[in-house]
Amino acid sequence: MNNSDVYIDIEKVFRQKNPRLFTMIPRFIFSYIKKIIHQNDLNRDLRIIAPYKGAEKMRKFLEIHSIKTHINGREHIPADGRYIFVANHPFGGPDGILLMACISEFFPHIKFLVNDLLLHLPDMEEVFLPLNKHGKNSKEYLTLIDSAYTSNAQIIVFPAGIVSRKINGVITDLEWQKSCVTYAKKYKRDIIPIFIHGKNSNFFYNLAYARKRFGIKANLEMFYLVDELYKHTNETISVTFGKPISYTYFSEAKKDKEWAQELKQITYALAKQTNGNNN
């Protein structure tokens, strides 16, 4: 590890992707972007966790930021078997990190479905599985999915695909995607629901509301997710594990899309079984 290693350089990205646009953007804009995405902090943290791989890298990140996990429902975590772990997505950062760190304590092999940006994080290729966000069922992607689901690795999924929003005053996920149910039946994997207690700052939700109010399609609030991540430093985040749900539960009585919404309801019901530390 070299103390001068730079993993994230926002100016370099703009310069390479769009040189003409790069020359048009004032320097103070880049300074603001660097501040919001915590470029210096991220590069420092990535240097610290560089020697580690997979879930151990995530545990180290939580350690250096004193982010602790309080687990409820340990008795619902089986000693063996192949499962799909599904969870709500309240944070957009620490929730994924702590799930990887937490579940890997019980099961050594995990696969976590993530977006394209996270695929560039070094030494995580054994854990990360790309999301099929654009519905392109390419042969390569289907082979990758089949390999993961037929393996002994535990699969971790945020069925909403994006971070929770405030809807009618309540922090909640948007509609859950049906793929977790479809794959549970196809690969005969039971599902273990997990509720993650907590929320982002009011600024995040207010920005999302204002953005929609003014008809702006670009998800500007997502730009601040790294800032939200660092706001959870020194916190204890509670997670509640529910009982495993047999893949046979998802019968032909309902469509997979309907089952996915019922699974979401089952997951959110776990919030009432215990009080999260930062609800």
Sign of CA dihedral 203, 132, 190, 149: negative
- Residue 124: the pLDDT is 86
Write down the pLDDT at residue 276. Answer: 46
- List the one residue out of 60, 56, 61, 55 whose CA is nearest residue 112: 55
Same domain, 38 and 26: yes
In this structure, the answer to whether residues 254 and 187 fall within a common structural domain is: yes
Task: Say yes or no: 121 and 223 in one domain.
Answer: yes
Q: What is the pLDDT of residue 121?
A: 77
Give residue 140's pLDDT.
82
Evaluate whether residue 200 is within a structural domain: yes
Instruction: For residues 253 and 208, state if they share a domain.
Output: yes
pLDDT of 210 reads 96
- What's the pLDDT at 2? 58
Query: Is there a domain that residue 20 lies in?
Result: yes
Residues 142 and 269 in one domain: yes
pTM summary value: 0.90
Residues 13, 26, single domain; the answer is yes
Please report, for the domain that includes residue 230, its CATH number. 3.40.1130.10
Q: Are residues 18 and 68 in the same domain?
A: no
**Domain enclosing residue 35, as ranges:** 1-51
Long-range contacts of 204-207 (CB under 8 A, 24+ apart): 204/228, 205/165, 205/166, 205/171
Please tell me whether residues 38 and 170 are part of one structural domain.
no
Domain count, the chain: 2
64 and 47 in a common domain: no
Predicted pLDDT at 34: 95
Q: Is residue 279 part of a domain?
A: no
Per-residue pLDDT of the chain (279 residues; tens, 9 = 90+): 556 688 889 899 889 888 898 899 999 999 999 999 999 999 999 999 999 999 999 999 999 999 999 999 999 999 999 999 999 999 998 999 999 999 999 999 999 998 776 777 778 888 998 876 555 557 888 888 999 999 999 999 999 999 999 999 999 999 999 999 999 999 999 999 999 999 999 999 999 999 999 999 888 999 899 999 999 999 999 999 999 999 999 999 999 999 999 999 999 999 987 654 444
- Among 266, 224, 214, residue whose Cα is nearest residue 245: 266
Q: CA-CA distance, 146 to 250, in Å (whole number)? A: 20
Edge-to-edge strand ranges of the sheet holding 236-241 = 68-72, 236-241, 190-196, 83-87, 154-157, 110-114, 128-130
Residue 133: strand, helix, or coil: coil
In a domain, 147, yes or no: yes
Shared domain check, 262 and 249: yes
Output the pLDDT for position 17.
Answer: 82
Alpha-carbon span 118 to 120, nearest angstrom: 5
Give the helix/strand (H/E) hosting 173: none
Under a CB-based contact definition with an 8 Å cutoff, are residues 239 and 102 in contact? yes
> Of the residues 12, 29, 51, which one is the last residue of a structural domain?
51
